[in-house]
Chain A
Amino acid sequence: MEDPFATASDAELLSDPRFHQQNVYAIVMRVLGRFEFALGRRVSWSFGGHQLKVAPHATADANAYYSKEDEGLFFGYFVDPATNGLVFSCLSHDVVAHETTHALVDGLRSRYTDPSSPDQAAFHEGISDVVALLSIFALREVMAGLLSDWKGTGKVSAKKLSPASLRQSALFALAEQMGSAMSQARGQALRNSVRIVQNPALISSAEYQEPHRRGELLVAAMLNALIEIWSERVTGLFLSAGELDLSRVVEEGQRAADILLTMSIRALDYCPPVHLGFGDYLSALVTADREIRPDDSTYHFRARLLASFAAYGIKPSSLGDTEEPGIWTAADGTFSHERSHFEPMQRDADEVFRFIWENRKALDLTEGVYTEVQSVRPCIRAGGDGFFLRETVVEYVQILRLMPPELADAGYTRPDAELLPDDREVFIHGGGTLIFDEWGQLKYHVHNRLNSYASQSARIAYLAESGYYLARRPKSEAVRVTRQGLFSQMHLNRGLNRSRKIADLWTGAKAPPDPVPAHVCGVHSFISTEEENDDANA
């Protein structure tokens, strides 16, 4: 295919909106392709249609975001006060990759935007930064340019490849490359994450309860593991004292980053459908990887990731075994296949529901509550041994709706009535991911159940303290409210550092403060809108 811009100068490219369109399209498709490669199947969007719409010049504001309701990505542009020139967020690789990842993750796990915990609120931002940063490694010239300070010699100084110098490198601080204006618009998320000092106490500190800051811990844990691996891998590549071959160094970095990116996407399939914690994600990372890449003796990715997460205070949710610590425990128990059929179990939600229903005791589900199979996703993943790994990934959710006075009898702890008045309905979400092997046998059941009373109670308490229930309408006045603007709001709030306790507003006993959550954001950005349709379960 002919490249219409092959001979265009930078100035011509910048002033031609058609180039902007092509650029943003190329990056979105590349990230999409990367997800499909890792998952071994086509991916779907959370909004039903098959095409994500992209507006490269949506608004004259320093913002860029994904909107599920609008089925698209919106990129803003703005005047850089330092140079007076226009800055286009659609030209920034990391911004485009970041927003695309939001859309893709929402398609894979639509309940991760639900109100739940600081971890879940932070995850969307964290994983989007991880994918954005790792995607850069695929761009060979960019990498070589960022690493080498004497271009053209094909060499790189060993000093630049220690973990400490790599952490300072622009490679892991992409927003800086886009100019300080862009990094401001992004709330500096990409700027500093890998430089966060390793300290297990951070995750419980007040500063890191805020979702964006907390998301940076995930980025720091993932990317620092990569830095360690890369730095170690290049030790054998010395040309002469203090100098290494640049292209080989780049290759090693690309290979390692490529594996990590695949791991980080595959892990999503092994995550529970509701209430994701960082520990769940870590267990999913190592389990999904072990399934398809059992031999990790070259890079020791799994051990390195476990150590790096531990350095930031994140432990895997599963103990694992001595050989593979942290991996999910294999599904045990006897499951009946008497009333379900092998072939439709690989594609049909109703067939899988039948299986789940017949095995509700073995799966330890709560009976008598709304239960729905959200997705059945067959996938074929390429393994390093020349064979294919065939799996079917199923998500199901269970939803229990209770009024606060009923919580105690159902086994949950009720927060203070000041924070959770009697007339606010409480939605409790449970659910699990079922991984079936190529013979239709259940390999893993990854779950956060309704009957995990302690952790469900902790979530209710967290939401109550965040003012979530006070902002909801009483059951008698419940209405359907759309969630428009979730991510746009989040990015704006990040820029503005806004947060406000709803408990201090005159919302009265009967209503939320504002249908548009202008005054209830910042920390509560994920939980400020009324996410549950009160007239339906799903």
Chain B
Amino acid sequence: MPTPKPTSLSIRSYQVGFGDSFLLTFHYPKVGGKLKDVHILVDCGSTGMPAAATHSLDDIAQQIATDCGGKLDAVIATHRHADHINGFATNAAGDNSGDTLAKLKPELVAQPWTEDPALAPDAIKPTKKVNALASFTRGLQAMHACAALAADEAVRLGSALPERTRKQLAFLGETNLANLSAVKNLMTMGKKNEYLSYGSKTGLTKLLPGVKIHVLGPPTPADYSEIEKQRSKDKDEFWHLLGATAQKPAKARAPFDKKFAAKTRPAHARWFAQRVTAAHIQQRLEIVRALDDALNNTSLILLFEVGGKKFLFPGDAQIENWNYALKDAPEAAANCKLLAATDFYKVGHHGSLNATPKTLWKLFAKKGAPTKKTTLTTVVSTMAGKHGSTAANTEVPRSTLVAELEKNSVFFTTQRIKKPPLFEKRDFPL
């Protein structure tokens, strides 16, 4: 019997404000008189709903449950940022969005290798390979501690900070907090879990007959050259160092006995003291920006190849993650060729300036007028006014990128979803 092949693919983009949530439904032809649909959920999270919205992530989870007919075949959690996974968070009452999603009993939960619990600090087997990977995941934990400290400082220093700085610090801090219940839910909700890296084989293939799935990122330290390995080790160590301080903020805040504290700040020291505080906050911001980038770069990059069409879901991967597939991997040339034929692109990182590398955009061969039949589709899930600033040209979504997408692709943004249903559905015949 020939392998069954899907005849069409529906992609639902949900209105989650600043976040990502997509449902991929592969429609297979009737087998024994029964239509078979395979539902795959890619991310579910939000760090802010549109001001006018009356719905919450719970409503989105309910909608997903309806749309998949009460059963998910697979869940893909691209990386652990809140705006991608906090929809999986559960609560004690068992009625949170994550509880709803868990009831959809996915066969498989796919995540990047960095989420593998076998790499957790308390579960390390002392083999050389595991150590290299574990060092990285310990680094991730340290990052969460730094993020928590930043979020805490944004509150603690409050009015002492310029408004824009405080907002940035709070936003980046909160996004990078560890989402414990969501992480745990992802670990347990599926029948099977898999942790993927560049070139991995995935169980999704079994769930999706006739679909070829390419895992194009993230690379693991094992993929790097010796120099890169050393550098990435240094980097991990650096995070451990920062994390250790962040985990003991009380100690760091009061390194000396109270008796040494000056009662008043002498007049001649005030100017400099103010500069010291400003410098400290600047540092903190740089650190959370760096850790935000680092987490984005743990994103799974998945390419679904089916019926001659290619659908690309890169999470929030930035150039450092992409570089391996595009440049450094032994198969780089083949990867570039594959990506050139992309028909659908989930725009990385909510349309920010740094997650659609121009190198990648240039590769896409099917760019063109939106009216042309062969032009690729691009979808961005985002909300303006949440992150970055127009004055600094860091606004998300970035206007220059959106202009390019509008001009040279069939472009859709979830910002256009203003009323129920809470999603936009696109069908692609295969």
Write the residues of chain A forming the contact surface with B, with a CB cutoff of 8 angstroms.
Answer: 15-18, 53, 55, 57-63, 67, 69-72, 74, 76-81, 84, 86, 88, 181, 184-185, 187-188, 207, 484-485, 488-489, 492, 495-498, 500-501, 503-516, 518-519
Contact = CB atoms under 8 A, between A and B. Distances in A.
A312 to B, nearest CB: 18
- B: interface residue count bin: 35 or more
B427 interface: no
> A69, A77, A498, A504: which has the most chain B beta carbons within 10 Å?
A504
A70 B272 contact: yes
Interface in B230-275: 231-232, 234-235, 237-238, 240-245, 247-249, 251-253, 255-257, 260, 272, 275
Contacts of A76: 283
B43 to A, nearest CB: 22
A55 B276 contact: yes
A504 B318 CA distance: 10
Contact of A511 (B242, B244, B286, B393): B393
Interface stretch (B19-27, B122-130, B350-358): B350-358
Given A67-B279, A70-B279, A518-B286, A62 B272 contact: no
A340 B398 CA distance: 58
A207 B227 CA distance: 8
Given A61-B283, A497-B231, A15 B256 contact: yes
Given A57-B255, A492-B283, A504 B240 contact: no
Given A16-B260, A516-B285, A507 B252 contact: no
A479 B107 CA distance: 56
Interface in B271-306: 272, 275-276, 279-280, 282-287, 289-290, 293
A506 B245 contact: no
Given A58-B280, A70-B275, A188 B234 contact: yes
B400 A507 contact: yes
B145 to A, nearest CB: 11
B398 A184 contact: no
**Overall SS of chain A's interface:** loop
A16 B354 CA distance: 46
A61 B276 contact: no
Chain B contact residues, majority secondary structure: helix
Given A58-B279, A72-B275, A497 B287 contact: no
A495 B235 CA distance: 6
6 contacts: A53-B272, A61-B280, A62-B238, A78-B242, A500-B319, A504-B358
A467 B184 CA distance: 42
B257 A79 contact: no
B394 interface: yes
Given A53-B272, A60-B252, A488-B283, A513 B394 contact: yes
Contacts of A185: 238, 241
Closest 9 A/B residue pairs (Cβ): A508-B400, A60-B252, A81-B244, A495-B238, A511-B393, A506-B353, A70-B275, A59-B280, A78-B245
Contact of B282 (A72, A187, A484, A513): A484
Contacts of B252: 60, 77-79, 86
Contacts of B256: 15-17
Interface of B: 227, 231-232, 234-235, 237-238, 240-245, 247-249, 251-253, 255-257, 260, 272, 275-276, 279-280, 282-287, 289-290, 293, 319-320, 353-354, 356-359, 392-394, 398-401, 404
Contacts of B279: 58-59, 67, 70, 74, 485, 488
A181 B241 contact: yes
A489 B286 CA distance: 8
Contact of B286 (A69, A71, A74, A492): A492
B234 A187 contact: yes
B245 A62 contact: yes
Contact of A184 (B237, B248, B260): B237
Contacts of A88: 255
Contact of B276 (A74, A187, A207, A507): A74
B244 A78 contact: yes
Contacts of A511: 393
Contact of A81 (B240, B284, B319, B320): B240
A510 B393 CA distance: 9
Given A58-B276, A59-B279, A496-B238, A504 B357 contact: yes
Given A78-B252, A506-B398, A184 B238 contact: yes
A513 B358 CA distance: 14
Contact of B241 (A81, A507, A512): A81
Given A504-B319, A504-B354, 9 more contacts: A59-B280, A59-B283, A78-B242, A84-B248, A187-B234, A492-B286, A492-B287, A513-B353, A519-B289
Contacts of A70: 272, 275-276, 279
Nearest to A77: B255
Contacts of A514: 392-394
A500 B320 CA distance: 8
A86 B353 CA distance: 38
Which among B251, B279, B392 has the greatest number of chain A C-beta atoms within 10 A? B279
A69 B272 CA distance: 11
Contacts of A496: 235, 238, 290
Nearest to B361: A506
